[in-house]
Structure 1
Amino acid sequence: MAGSIFTHIDHFIATVTFSHPKSNSFPSELLQKLIDTFDRLNTDDKVKVILLQSEGDKAFCAGASFDELLQIDNEAKGKIFFSGFANLINAMRKCSKLIVGRAQGKAVGGGVGILAACDYCFATEASDIKLSELSIGIGPFVIAPAIERKMGVFAFSDLSLDAKSWKTAYWAQKYGLFNRVFENIRDMDEGIDILVHQLSQYNPEALIEMKKIFWQGTEHWDKLLIERAEISGKLVLSEFTKKALSKFKP
Structure 2
Amino acid sequence: MIHEIQEGYVKIEHDHGITTLEFYHPQSNALPGKLLHELAQEIHISGLDPKTKVIILRSAGDRAFCAGAAFEELEGIRTEAEGQKFFSGFAEVINAMRKCPKLIIGRVQGKCVGGGVGLAAAVDYCITWEKAEIKLSELALGIGPFVIAPAVERKIGTSAFSQLAIDANMWRNADWAKKKGLFAEVHESVENMDHSINRLAHSLAHMNPDAMKELKKTFWKGTENWDELLHEKAAISGRLVLSEYTREAIERFRKTRESQKTKTPA
Pick the TM interval, shorter chain. Answer: over 0.9
Task: Give the Cα–Cα distance (whole angstroms) in 2 for the partners of residues 174 and 249 of structure 1.
Answer: 34
Does structure 2 retain, via aligned residues, the 8 Å contact 1:13–1:47? yes
What does residue 128 of structure 2 align with? 123
**In the comparison of the two structures, how many residue pairs are matched?**
250
What does residue 111 of structure 1 align with? 116
SS at the partner of 2:65? coil
Does 1:245 find its partner at 2:257?
no
Stretches of structure 2 that go unaligned for 5 or more consecutive residues are 1-5, 256-266
| 201, 215, 218: which one aligns with 1:213 | 218
Give the structure-1-normalised TM-score.
0.98
| 59, 77, 85: which one aligns with 1:54 | 59
Q: Deviations 1:148-203 (Å, cap 9, x if unpaired)?
A: 00000011000010000000001000000000000110010111111111111100
Q: CA RMSD in A?
A: 0.9
Aligned-pair distance for 1:249?
A: 4.5
Does 1:95 find its partner at 2:118?
no
Does 1:79 find its partner at 2:92?
no
What does residue 14 of structure 1 align with? 19
Does structure 2 retain, via aligned residues, the 8 Å contact 1:2–1:30? no
| 145, 163, 166: which one aligns with 2:168 | 163
Task: Give the Cα–Cα distance (whole angstroms) in 2 for the partners of residues 134 and 177 of structure 1.
Answer: 20
Aligned-pair distance for 1:217?
A: 0.2
Q: Percent identity at matched positions?
A: 56
What does residue 3 of structure 2 align with? none
Q: Deviation above 4 Å: which 4+ runs of structure 1? A: none
| 158, 180, 201: which one aligns with 1:153 | 158
What does residue 9 of structure 2 align with? 4
Task: Give the Cα–Cα distance (whole angstroms) in 2 for the partners of residues 214 and 136 of structure 1.
Answer: 33
Task: Give the Cα–Cα distance (whole angstroms) in 2 for the partners of residues 247 and 189 of structure 1.
Answer: 37
SS at the partner of 2:161? helix
Task: Give the Cα–Cα distance (whole angstroms) in 1 for the partners of residues 24 and 156 of structure 2.
Answer: 26
Does structure 2 retain, via aligned residues, the 8 Å contact 1:2–1:27? no
Does structure 1 retain, via aligned residues, the 8 Å contact 2:110–2:129? yes
Task: Give the Cα–Cα distance (whole angstroms) in 1 for the partners of residues 69 and 247 of structure 2.
Answer: 17
Give the structure-2-normalised TM-score.
0.92
Q: Deviations 1:59-109 (Å, cap 9, x if unpaired)?
A: 001011111001111111111111010111001100111000000000000
